[in-house]
Amino acid sequence: MESREQSNRSNPRSSAESLSRPSAIVIGGGFAGIAAARALHDASFQVVLLESRDRIGGRVCTDYSFGFPVDMGASWLHGVCEENPLAPLVGRLGLPLYRTGGDNSVLYDHDLESYALFDADGNQVPQKLVTEVGKTFGTILKETDKVREENSEDMSILKAFSIVLERRPDLRQQGTAHNVLQWYLCRMEGWFAADADSISLKYWDEEELLSGGHGLMVRGYYPVINTLAKGLDIRLNSRVTGISRRHSGVKISVEDGSTFTADAAIVAVPLGVLKSKKISFEPKLPQWKEKAISELGIGTENKIALHFDKVFWPNVEFLGVVASSSYGCSYFLNLHKATSYPVLVYMPAGRLAQDIEKMSDKDAANFAYMQLKKILPDASEPINYLVSHWGTDINSLGSYSYHTVGKSNDLYERLRIPVDNIFFAGEATSMNYPGTVHGAFSTGTIAAEECRMRVLERYGELDLHNLAMDGEMSTSLAVPLLISRM
Ligand SMILES: Cc1cc2nc3c(=O)[nH]c(=O)nc-3n(C[C@H](O)[C@H](O)[C@H](O)COP(=O)(O)OP(=O)(O)OC[C@H]3O[C@@H](n4cnc5c(N)ncnc54)[C@H](O)[C@@H]3O)c2cc1C
């Protein structure tokens, strides 16, 4: 499938053997791309996966430099249930999960079961107050439903909040309670990786939440993707710059000058990369597709992992700092609770995350540490740190997608729809589970199946329907998930 002009290697597509086998190129080695390549490989396609980084996983990135796994991208399995498309694989690998939140938790991935919130002077906010304000937050969200029903025009969640508080003075909060409310808003912004003034009121709750709550991958996500990737032809350090399509097939150009040809391609790069137009399409993508790419939002959430020599913080699942605006609030995930490693992960989102990305890693780590010092003045200095840059990393250019204000509801679907023999996968093409690992995984398998059908149609008379699926990687085996909470 490869032709490298300088090395003068021949194109295997011209051999009789390869002509008789359908072929595809998958672009992007995150969960979507790997799932797509896996499915096509198992259906006896010739598949090459081109990945721009020197690693697979994309926004799943388990770092081992502390001497143990720390997920700097995704870390939760959202929906610990059999219906989760990833459950069979996670279960079969026997990977432990730590549940941080059940169904309907107001903080999405956390219950208010084990936490400690502090004000900026280091005083712990009484649990009773946090629970009460949590209920108020839930009521305000319900009230925004009415605002949505009354208005045909879309508006931001923030605007809807202010309309509700205008109408219902009883829901307004003062002093610390106000700050706790801002903290709830901050966590909602974390879920969407965007500020409340840009999240669509109309469509913010379109996503389907699977049952079973939220399980942290105690050993990190890498074992899952590594298993999925076994035996695939993956070319790392291969940044795709051009995709041209003809009726006869596709030709993919890579930054280093090499080209690849195949019957079809699956584009599984992040929405941010598509937005940046760093990959040229020839002929151009249709206007409806370009519009969907430009209109769907991509937010930023980052992680700053602080590694300490010992644990000096309370034995809770998360620590928070409340403030008068959501921008000033902080959230630390306590990895020690779930994994027994002395690590706190600071997770800023939206504009705050973008502002922190402008800092050096040292300053960013120090910023996170200063938030911690506010609440625990005796906090010792971290012995090591890790800082993610999902917003500015050329391979992601954003953390995950969300509905911005005033755009149509079919953007995810339009992003998914194939253009000739180019298929699209990735979290931003998932109508049901956008912004998640299992969503990305599903879109990869769906795109692979569509691609397979399309290519088989072209091969017509060949009896390719009987191409064997590789039983080894079959994910149909149901094994219970190992979920716990301490
Ligand atoms: C900080 C953070 C926390 C998150 N937390 C969770 C969580 O707890 N649970 C959850 O379910 N989801 C979470 N997510 C979302 C989840 O990580 C993503 O939805 C999912 O991993 C996306 O997978 P993907 O395959 O669509 O894209 P990616 O994983 O981004 O894969 C795309 C691949 O394309 C490659 N690429 C880019 N440009 C090119 C090019 N030109 N040529 C070739 N290759 C290219 C990239 O390097 C990348 O490997 C989180 C994301 C972030 C950033």
Q: Which residues pair with 384 in a beta bridge?
A: 307
CATH number at residue 251: 3.50.50.60
190 and 307 inside one domain: yes
202 and 315 inside one domain: yes
Q: What is the pLDDT along the chain (486 residues), one digit of tens a residue?
A: 655 433 333 343 433 344 468 999 999 999 999 999 999 999 999 999 999 999 999 999 999 999 999 999 999 999 999 999 999 999 999 999 999 988 777 667 778 778 999 998 999 999 999 999 999 999 999 999 999 999 999 999 999 999 999 999 999 999 999 999 999 999 999 999 999 999 999 999 988 889 999 999 999 999 999 999 999 999 999 999 999 999 889 999 999 999 999 999 999 999 999 999 999 999 999 999 999 999 999 999 999 999 999 999 999 999 999 999 999 999 999 999 999 999 999 999 999 999 999 999 999 999 999 999 999 999 999 999 999 999 999 999 999 999 999 999 999 999 999 999 999 999 999 999 999 999 999 999 999 999 999 999 888 745 544 444 443 334 444 667 777 766
307 and 190 inside one domain: yes
Q: Greatest CA separation found in the chain?
A: 76
Domain end residue (candidates: 360, 387, 414):
387
Q: Tell me, what's the pLDDT at 111?
A: 80
Q: Tell me, what's the pLDDT at 17?
A: 40
Residue 214 resides in a domain: no
284 and 321 inside one domain: no
47 and 150 inside one domain: no
291 and 334 inside one domain: no
CATH number at residue 156: 3.90.660.10
190 and 305 inside one domain: yes
Report residues whose beta carbon is within 6 angstroms of any ligand 1 atom: 27-33, 50-53, 58-60, 73-76, 78, 239-240, 268-270, 273, 279, 301-303, 388, 390, 395-396, 399-400, 426-427, 435-437, 440
Task: Out of 81, 260, 335, 437, give the residue to mutate to test ligand 1, the one with the largest number of ligand atoms within 8 Å of its CB.
Answer: 437
- Omega before 348 cis (within 30°)? no
305 and 192 inside one domain: yes
192 and 116 inside one domain: yes
Q: How far, in Å, is the centroid of ligand 1 from the Cα of 368?
A: 24
246 and 329 inside one domain: no
Residue 15 resides in a domain: no
Q: Give the pTM.
A: 0.93
Residue 101 resides in a domain: no
Q: Tell me, what's the pLDDT at 461?
A: 43
Q: Angle formed by the axes of helices 127-150 and 175-192, to 10°?
A: 60
Query: How many Cβ atoms are within 10 Å of 20's Cβ, its own excluded?
Result: 10
292 and 354 inside one domain: no
CB 28 within 8 A of CB 426: yes
Task: Out of 400, 424, 445, give the residue to mutate to test ligand 1, the one with the largest number of ligand atoms within 8 Å of its CB.
Answer: 400
CB proximity list for 445: less than 8 A, separation 6 or greater: 35, 36, 39, 85
Question: Which domain, by its residues, includes 306?
Answer: 108-206+301-387
